[in-house]
Structure 1
């Protein structure tokens, strides 16, 4: 086993080392992995994902390295994104709330206001698409204005839709990892309703991927972030529940959840005898006292 791990260390490297060799900040590297720009491989030693040396060599050999790779993982908030697209921040926000621009990340600022971030490259592509010209200038289409009047905001749902794609890519063909990825974006009550067996839920928890952290556990910021990361719209919840139920059927069939071995029953001769001086209560005590009564 140690030889296998040593060989793996030569052929692959940890994410932190890969980020340095690709000249990316760790957040940029993680986003590159999520977007599928950097391919990872499982660690044969049971750790987290690793990056093959060949993958690093491939990326380093690309034109304009590392600038081109950094551009592909660059993100923009509302004001910077509006500048990229050549629109006002108000119009940018309307397009994002309507669901036409899909955030890739979010964070809560010191006022606990949600700040959404978008891939800068996608914003440039959106602005360059001729069919989107009517969205960038002039009067906003009626359907978008109707959505704004109704206070429609699809940004949280779009983030969840994008993030489940990241998680399922990492899960690969493992049905338990797939089910855990879906479960982590559902309300716990929904998970309990779909997966009634506590042993199966325990296994799901062990496979559960880590969601982005926002503030200390239990803090208002963490609670607000958890709301954003939890499916909330009825049709969305129904889709997640159906996917979880379907994947759990595959997981049960291929790799049933382990269960504790039942305690062996004690044989009559192995049961401890009750001492004569032990207190006698109830029916058992009455029978013992009766057995000592004189007969005849």
Structure 2
């Protein structure tokens, strides 16, 4: 009698690195596609705290790997200006005004920030006739005034975009509150949250900035600086959003509290379990009166 060997069932999900290899794209391209909502991920079913990629999602994307790769192609200032057919200086002014938003950044060897933009978004911006006056001729006076006053919205527009990325990955109300808190200084969080247990809960869920160097290094300090809201109105916006997210989280599930003191035995007087107490009484019965 011959037996049939069955192949083990295919896992329902796989690790992001495996998914990127199967799709034939770089891991950085894969991560950006996830951030943009183009690839769906799910919490790690093993409870590791990471994210996994459903097999059905990989199957769906196999036929469009080339278009996926093109949709996440990023460019710097020089290549972005060439795509939009404008000088690099004008491109920088357009970006500083917040009219195009960087999607990533990295520090160069001089510790200066190099902003990266989605090529597809720049092409769409340049093709829109409503933007023609921003790309040719003199910059409108109201925008020139802002530039002369030192306007530079690149970090702010990146923060707004990165916050959206993280919120899409948040698995619950408290996690969403933690995301928003990640863009505020601790003192600003304290202004919003007066309950120490809620502060502790939110602080534990704050995301760190994108990794750019060892902890404490100049690159890591730069990442921390770029992650933190800077303009007063931006800070107020994040604080308002944090208060709203915490209010929603509070109704869903209050922040955990430590167990009440009354539930613990008094110092120096350990309580006996019922089983142990009964065993001792059987071993040492009280004398009859």
TM, length-normalised to structure 2: 0.84
* Alpha-carbon distance between aligned partners in 2 of 1:251 and 1:87, rounded to the nearest angstrom: 47
Q: CA deviation at 1:13?
A: 1.0
* Alpha-carbon distance between aligned partners in 1 of 2:163 and 2:104, rounded to the nearest angstrom: 13
3-state SS, counterpart of residue 238 of structure 1: helix
Q: Which residue, 50, 53, 58 being the options, matches 2:52?
A: 50
* Alpha-carbon distance between aligned partners in 2 of 1:82 and 1:129, rounded to the nearest angstrom: 16
Q: Is the 8 A contact 1:94 1:144 kept in 2?
A: no
**CA-to-partner distance for each residue in 1:88-138, whole Å, 9 max, x for gaps?**
110000000011110001111111111100001101111111111222222
What stretches of structure 1 of length at least 5 have no aligned partner? Answer: 1-5, 272-296
Q: Is the 8 A contact 1:95 1:144 kept in 2?
A: no
Q: Is the 8 A contact 2:209 2:223 kept in 1?
A: no
3-state SS, counterpart of residue 168 of structure 1: helix
In the alignment, does 2:110 pair up with 1:111? yes
Residues 267, 11 of structure 1: CA spacing in aligned structure 2 closer, same or farther, 3 A cutoff? closer
Aligned to 1:142: 141
Q: CA deviation at 1:146?
A: 1.4
In the alignment, does 2:62 pair up with 1:60? yes
Provide the alpha-carbon RMSD of the alignment.
2.1
TM, length-normalised to structure 1: 0.82
Q: Is the 8 A contact 1:99 1:153 kept in 2?
A: yes
Q: Is the 8 A contact 1:40 1:49 kept in 2?
A: yes
Q: Is the 8 A contact 2:176 2:245 kept in 1?
A: yes
In the alignment, does 2:63 pair up with 1:91? no
Q: CA deviation at 1:269?
A: 9.8
Q: CA deviation at 1:236?
A: 1.2
Aligned to 1:198: 196
Query: Which one has the largest radius of gyration?
Result: 1
Q: How many residues in Structure 1 have an aligned counterpart in Structure 2? A: 261
What stretches of structure 2 of length at least 5 have no aligned partner? Answer: 1-7, 271-289
Aligned to 1:179: 177
